[in-house]
Amino acid sequence: MILSIESSCDDSSIAITEIETHKLLYHKKISQEHEHACYGGVVPELASRLHAVALPRILEETKPWFDKLKAVAVTNQPGLGVTLLEGIAMAKTLAVLLEIPLIPVHHLKGHIYSLFIEKPTRFPMLVLLISGGHTMVIRVESFEKMEILATSMDDSVGESFDKTAKMMGLCYPGGPIIEEMARRGDENRFDLPVPLRNSKLIAFSLSGLKNAVRLTVESLGGSEAMSEQDKCDLAASFQKAVKLHLLQKSKKIFKQEPVKDFAIVGGASANLYLRNAYEKLCDEFGKTLHVAPLEYCSDNAAMIGRYALDAYARNAYADDPNSVDLIVTKKQKNNTLL
Ligand code: KG4
Ligand code: ZN
């Protein structure tokens, strides 16, 4: 069995995965969303203090499995340094005490592996990763080979939902709130610009759209002067522009990539409006859409554990846990997800 730990942002999570069967034996996540809600985003120092309380509490419940553990896995990049360190410190201590190897896990690869929780891997796969920290399309050939085909030049998709919510005086995380309000809104009321609409670039950009939302809020007299219906209409118009942007760039990629299997992962992949749009696009291009179950779209230790199974099978671990550390920045060489 492998015990996995995730603490890259505002979710404290631990999972136990069985090596032979890939079964998820235990999974718990304590989210800090409520604690950060009034700040409009994650406050790193507060997040790290909350991890320091939540992680040991969850770990306590996993004690019955300790003597069966073959390895510990932990997210060590990318993410908030001070929160990653909480998980890494715990993972190192466990690995040293139990005398088992430590598997460092790249958080984005974890999101890709959220597709394979309690399932076999399926490669090659074209993956759109839309989270709070990243927006990119990755061609996943194998465990070893993951090539980035497109990224955001500025904000990520999740971040743009969070900032739009904040500008309308709504709470963090903005994604689920905007999606819910958009269901009650008129997506054609505000004509927001679809980013990079006339550009040949295969890249994403969301900061211009964010600015258009800000100007619209101002034109309505500020968030406090906006009615509930104004907010629902703006949420819907914003979400529509994000959808059109993602679809336009994805179409370009679909035209040049023959890979049949396409997936959306990351926190914003829980958005059903976006999922439906991709369902149609995949039909049109003869691709099969894959998504993770809703509970595994946002950060969780089950996906870290699933990736760790494949790493363990390839001996991709550190025998000396002390050699595993937080990786603050990693240069992308040749667009490979390292
Ligand atoms: O993957 P994740 O949990 O954390 C990162 O790795 O960043 O993603 C969190 C992000 C937040 O920005 C949140 O607003 C967004 O995912 N999100 C959504 C939805 N649910 C979560 N965005 C759009 N629609 C949603 N339903
Ligand atoms: Zn994430």
SS3 for 173-230 is CHHHHHHHHHHCCCCCCCCCCCCCCCCCCCCECCHHHHHHHHHHHHHCCCHHHCCHHH
Torsion over CA: 156, 158, 159, 163 (sign): positive
DSSP string, 86-148: HHHHHHHHHHHHHT--EEEEEHHHHHHHGGGTTS----SEEEEEE-SS-EEEEEE-SSS-EEE
**Residues near ligand 2 ion, CB 5 Å cutoff:** 131, 299
Instruction: Compute φ and ψ for 138, nearest 5 degrees.
Output: -125, 135
pLDDT at position 332, please?
A: 60
Query: Is the CB of residue 298 below 6 angstroms from any atom belonging to ligand 1?
Result: yes
Report the DSSP beta bridge partners of residue 128: 137, 264
Which of 42, 105, 131 has most ligand 1 atoms within 8 Å of its beta carbon, as the pocket-test mutant?
A: 131
Give every strand in the sheet of 261-265, ordered side by side. Answer: 146-151, 135-140, 125-130, 261-265, 288-291
Which residues touch 62 (CB under 8 Å, ≥6 apart)?
3, 14, 16, 26
- Give the distance (Å) from ligand 1 centre to CA of residue 225: 27
Ligand nearest to the CA of 298: 1
pLDDT at position 40, please?
A: 79
pLDDT at position 269, please?
A: 98
Which regions of the chain are under pLDDT 50? none
Q: 65: which 2 tokens?
A: 């499995």
Ligand nearest to the CA of 171: 1
The Cα–Cα gap between 319 and 330 comes to 22
pLDDT tens digit string along 17-50?
999 999 999 999 999 989 998 887 899 999 999 9
- Give the distance (Å) from ligand 2 centre to CA of residue 338: 16
Look up the pTM and report it: 0.96
Angle (deg, nearest 10), helices 174-183 and 157-167: 70
Ligand nearest to the CA of 176: 1
pLDDT at position 333, please?
A: 61
Query: Is the CB of residue 270 below 6 angstroms from any atom belonging to ligand 1?
Result: yes
Tell which atom from ligand 1 comes closest to the C-alpha of 298: 3
Tell which atom from ligand 1 comes closest to the C-alpha of 156: 12
Q: Is 286 exposed, middle or buried (0-12, 13-18, 19+ CB in 10 A)?
A: exposed
pLDDT at position 38, please?
A: 84
Instruction: Compute φ and ψ for 231, nearest 5 degrees.
Output: -65, -40
Report the DSSP beta bridge partners of residue 13: 6, 29
User: How many Cα atoms are found within 13 Å in the side-chain-facing hemisphere of 276?
Assistant: 6
Say if residues 197 and 248 touch (Cβ distance below 8 Å): yes
Nearest to 47 by CA among 79, 92, 75: 79
pLDDT at position 338, please?
A: 74
Which residues touch 247 (CB under 8 Å, ≥6 apart)?
277, 278, 281
Q: 94: which 2 tokens?
A: 């466990």
